Amino acid sequence: MTEAIRLKIPQDQEYVTSIDSAVKPLRNCVEDAMAVYFKQLEGHPAGDLYKMVLAEVEEPLFRSVMSYTGGNQSKASELLGINRGTLRKKLKQYGLHE
């Protein structure tokens, strides 16, 4: 999928994405992407789906949070609900560390 995905947070704080001007809950976008992925496999074995999906979601999550907090790891870890050690590990994993 090459469509742009933009995360929006409406007044009711429900997380949704916008794909092709249709507003869907984030979970539906993941389900749709997985359906396309399975269809494209055409009988070939699937890879490590858990790691694949997490990598696709975590990297932009951490990039966005670090941008939002101006690079402040204490604020970012609080916002994400993880400790700073885990945050640093994830930033290094995705090449987002300073």
C-alpha 47 chain-centroid distance: 19
* Residue-level pLDDT at 46: 85
What is the C-alpha separation between 52 and 35, in angstroms, rounded? 14
pLDDT confidence band for 10 (50 / 70 / 90): very low
Superfamily of domain 47-98, CATH level 4? Homeodomain-like (1.10.10.60)
Domain range summary for the chain, segments of one domain joined by +: 1-42, 47-98
Alpha-carbon distance 74 to 82, whole Å? Answer: 10
| Between 59 and 55, the higher pLDDT residue | 59
